[in-house]
Amino acid sequence: MKINYPRLKSRIDALAEISPIEGGGNCRLALTDEDKHGRDLVVSWMRELDLEISIDTVGNIIGTWNTAELSPVMSGSHIDTVRTGGRFDGCYGVLAALEVIQTCQDAKIKPPRPLAVGVFTDEEGARFAPDMLGSLVYVGGMAVETALDILAIDGAKFGDELVRIGYAGPAPCPGISPHAFVELHIEQGPMLEANNTRIGAVTSVQGISWREVTILGQSNHAGTTPMSLRHDPAYVAAEITVFVRNLALELGGDQVCTVGKVDLHPNLTNVVPARATLTLDMRNTDENLLQLAEKRIADFLTKIADSEGVKISTRVLARFEPVVFDDRVVACVEQIAKQHGHTVRRMPSGAGHDAQMLARVCPSGMIFVPSVKGISHNPAEFTTDADLEAGANILLHAMLSLTTLETQA
Ligand code: GLV
Ligand code: MN
Ligand code: MN
């Protein structure tokens, strides 16, 4: 049995027509009008397939086929994007899961368990931190009330935006625990392509630590204030940026550190700024090394605040420890890829994913397909048709195989 690739591709293209940006990507930040339009389209496809649709209190959409009393094998991902997103990140996983269900319906096979597709709210965390917010709440990792109170980077409240776009649903969170969860995603990194490998059987997701750092200095005239008398938040922000880059290089291994967002106030040519705010994104597959990175950065902030006469405060935006996926799901993906004649490698994920949250409540894993040049969170994100089709077929057989996965009662 095979999925219908032209049908999957046409849905990927149709979803990408909502909120397109130059270069072929999308801007569909969570809970914006664009997100609503994307959701409406996916829900209309779920209706066409006659799925039972549930929308929960944080806006996660779960479409279930063949609703028996048994817990479903679930797949899915997200359709929100970063501001400069590609067309595959998240959307591919959601639409491939939908395609798997339609393929089974067309073939008139009846899996022994329901199959479900989840569209999780705000996976990117680009508008509302933390990332993977919807799936985190789905598995009980954050209270609904806490999530509803989170403020966006534009000041809007999560709960208000959810109501505004009509996706504050009645289904309770935490939601039902699936029998198993397997997410299909583009790799978003260079490893599969570099190793000439088609399928990644994802073993783990690295730990994630996001901080917002606010630096308060002395705003003053750019022409009259001698360099020796400055308390300049922009300079301190630059020093922090250099420090975290060098720290990542020094720690080695998997450590990565990114300053992705910097805001200066009042942001004028001839004014020494009063304030700088920046974000730190730090990740490592090793929790101890990630904690070491956090400590080294905290020590540096104390030191530079003292030497530059500025005040520095930090706020945790996201903190998730590394997650190891269930070896039975990893082995299932690996085996099916081999049976289909594909090259496959076990690998960790550098990006965060909803599957890492679902792993808290059921056997979970992921399937990766190559990203050309390893580019993602960029409109140029691209995966070939052959790889997209291969990944969706692995998902089909993995979901069916997981319906018979034995779990302890
Ligand atoms: C989410 O996509 C992340 O890894 O930043
Ligand atoms: Mn994603
Ligand atoms: Mn992403």
Instruction: Say which CATH superfamily domain 5-205+322-402 falls into.
Output: Zn peptidases (3.40.630.10)
In this predicted structure, the answer to whether residue 147 has a pLDDT above a threshold of 70 is yes
From the CA of 376, the nearest ligand is 3
User: 344-349 and 271-272: which strand pairing?
Assistant: unpaired
**How many Cβ atoms sit within 10 Å of the Cβ of residue 108?**
6
pLDDT tens-digit map of 115-128: 999 999 999 999 99
Q: Looking at residue 253, what is its pLDDT?
A: 72
Average pLDDT, the chain: 97
Q: Which atom of ligand 1 is nearest to the CA of 89?
A: 2
| 205 C-beta closer than 6 A to ligand 1 | no
| 189 C-beta closer than 6 A to ligand 1 | no
pLDDT tens-digit map of 333-346: 999 999 999 999 99
CA of 190 to the centre of ligand 3 (A): 15
Asked whether the beta carbons of 148 and 159 are under 8 A apart, the reply is yes
Instruction: Tell me which residue of 374, 334, 347 sits closest to 194, measured CA to CA.
Output: 374
CA of 377 to the centre of ligand 1 (A): 9
From the CA of 187, the nearest ligand is 2
Cα dihedral 349, 350, 355, 358 sign: positive
Q: What is the 3-state secondary structure (H, E, C) of 228-241?
A: HHCCCHHHHHHHHH
| 131 C-beta closer than 6 A to ligand 1 | yes
In this predicted structure, the answer to whether residue 66 has a pLDDT above a threshold of 90 is no
As annotated, the residues of the chain forming the CATH 3.40.630.10 domain(s) are 5-205+322-402
Q: List strand residue ranges (DSSP E) for 44-176, in order.
A: 52-55, 61-65, 73-77, 115-119
Asked whether the beta carbons of 181 and 326 are under 8 A apart, the reply is no
CA of 337 to the centre of ligand 2 (A): 21
d(CA 1, CA 153): 45
Q: Which atom of ligand 1 is nearest to the CA of 132?
A: 1
CA of 353 to the centre of ligand 3 (A): 8
User: 25-26 and 20-21: which strand pairing?
Assistant: antiparallel
pLDDT band at 6 (very low <50, low <70, confident <90, very high): very high
What DSSP assignment string belongs to 142-171?
S-HHHHHTPBPTTS-BHHHHHHHTT---SB
Q: Which atom of ligand 1 is nearest to the CA of 131?
A: 1
How large is the average pLDDT for residues 37-65? 98
- Which amino acid would we find at residue 221? H
Q: Looking at residue 182, what is its pLDDT?
A: 98
Q: Which atom of ligand 1 is nearest to the CA of 352?
A: 4
From the CA of 186, the nearest ligand is 2
As annotated, the residues of the chain forming the CATH 3.30.70.360 domain(s) are 207-320
| 124 C-beta closer than 6 A to ligand 1 | yes
Q: List strand residue ranges (DSSP E) for 82-218, in order.
A: 115-119, 180-186, 199-205, 207-216
CA of 372 to the centre of ligand 1 (A): 18
pLDDT band at 152 (very low <50, low <70, confident <90, very high): very high
| 352 C-beta closer than 6 A to ligand 1 | yes
Angle at which helix 327-339 crosses helix 385-402, to 10 degrees, equals: 130
DSSP secondary structure code for residue 202 in this structure: E
d(CA 298, CA 300): 5
CA of 60 to the centre of ligand 1 (A): 18
Q: Looking at residue 409, what is its pLDDT?
A: 52
Cα-trace Rg, the chain: 22
How large is the average pLDDT for residues 163-180? 98
Burial of 303 (0-12, 13-18, 19+ CB in 10 A): exposed
Whole-model pTM over 0.85: yes
| 387 C-beta closer than 6 A to ligand 1 | no
Residue 75: HSE in the Cβ half-sphere, 13 Å Cα cutoff: 33
Tokens of 361: 């409540």
| 351 C-beta closer than 6 A to ligand 1 | yes
Residues lining ion ligand 3 (Cβ < 5 A) are 89
What DSSP assignment string belongs to 312-325?
EEEEEEEEE--EE-
Angle at which helix 5-16 crosses helix 385-402, to 10 degrees, equals: 110
pLDDT tens-digit map of 74-130: 999 999 999 999 999 999 999 999 999 999 999 999 999 999 999 999 999 999 999
How large is the average pLDDT for residues 304-321? 98
CA of 70 to the centre of ligand 2 (A): 28
CA of 84 to the centre of ligand 3 (A): 10
Instruction: Tell me which residue of 279, 271, 278 sits closest to 232, measured CA to CA.
Output: 271
In this predicted structure, the answer to whether residue 70 has a pLDDT above a threshold of 60 is yes
In this predicted structure, the answer to whether residue 39 has a pLDDT above a threshold of 90 is yes
Q: Looking at residue 408, what is its pLDDT?
A: 66
- CATH number assigned to the domain with residue range 207-320, chosen from the 4 options 3.40.50.300, 3.30.70.360, 2.40.50.140, 3.90.1150.10: 3.30.70.360
d(CA 87, CA 287): 31
Q: Looking at residue 407, what is its pLDDT?
A: 81
Asked whether the beta carbons of 120 and 136 are under 8 A apart, the reply is no
